[in-house]
Amino acid sequence: MSPYAIAVLFTLASTALYALGYALAKVLAESLHPFEITFLRSALVLASVMALTMVKPAPLATMTRIALPARPWAQRMTGAMLIFSTTLGVIGYWLVPITEAAALGFTAPVILAALGAIWLKEEVSARRWIAVLLGFAGMLVVVRPGGELFTWYAAIPIASALSYATYQVMARRIRDVASAEDITTQGALMGVVLLAPAMLVLWQNPDLLTWVLVVIYTLLQTAALLFLAGAVRRAEVSALAPWQYARIAFALALDAVMFDRWPGLWALAGCLLIAAGGLVLAWPARKQAARP
């Protein structure tokens, strides 16, 4: 299997896990502040990393790598951007229904394509732009601008998408010195450091069920992050951008199963446009691969 095909599979796995994770976060936000949800996730990830470090060979070297990483400013800023995006994502999914929040978040692939071309100097072909714009059109059909969804809080998923796109570009820029595990660890460290002061005011003691949901949410989001990091190390971010639209299909399913919200014809039409964007990107590669 080619590196690009693996990157696509990783991207799809990441989108599915992120959608499920944010659905759980929406449930958790009924009893915990979004800041506390992100803080607990970061603390659990960091504690797990520390525990695993102690049972590995040369734990001191691993601890030193965490405390003094290569290009520390770049790694920690990347981790901080991840925490910022995650926190905004939890708030957005708390305030906006899952399908609509996911749709608004799909401004990210357009941003990714632009950042990939401008910042990383990646070559973005006309085919990729067509695929991305088809997906963006699908998002517009689902959300229907001018409807009741467009209130002030609708800007939060968009801000999360922008910071998430920036994080992916930042992660790709340091891929030569930081593995997926390094970026995950630095993100957890920054989450604990940045959100700890807020816990002095916002902390609420979770009950047993809430702790279980927090652990599941942490596992889902961490796995999604690792899949994403593996994807961007194998392919250009602009090439992967249209495949991230698959998250809206997962969001539609989760809305139906978890919250008994069924997609209407507009939502289905938007999903078809999103799928068309993915096919525009994938079809020429398949056709070329089929030649002797």
202: number of Cβ within 10 Å: 14
Q: What is the pLDDT of residues 256-278, one digit of tens each?
A: 899 888 777 777 787 788 777 76
Of 9-23, 171-185, 267-281, which range is least confident? 267-281
Amino acid at 107: T
pLDDT of 97 strictly over 90: no
pLDDT band at 286; cut points 50, 70, 90: very low
* Confidence (pLDDT) at 291: 40
Q: Does residue 260 sit in helix, strand or coil?
A: coil
Selection from 107, 66, 53, 58 nearest residue 248 by Cα: 107
Q: What is the pLDDT of residues 39-54, one digit of tens each?
A: 999 999 999 988 888 7
Q: What is the pLDDT of residues 214-249, one digit of tens each?
A: 999 999 988 987 898 788 788 877 678 777 778 888
Higher pLDDT, 169 or 36: 36
* Confidence (pLDDT) at 211: 95
* Confidence (pLDDT) at 288: 43
pLDDT of 287 strictly over 50: no
For the whole prediction, is pTM greater than 0.75?
Answer: yes
pLDDT band at 283; cut points 50, 70, 90: low
* Confidence (pLDDT) at 143: 72
Reading the block at residue 287, the tokens are 């056709």
Contact predicate 158/108, CB 8 Å: no
**Average pLDDT value for residue range 109-122:** 69
3-state secondary structure 128-144: HHHHHHHHHHHHHHHHC
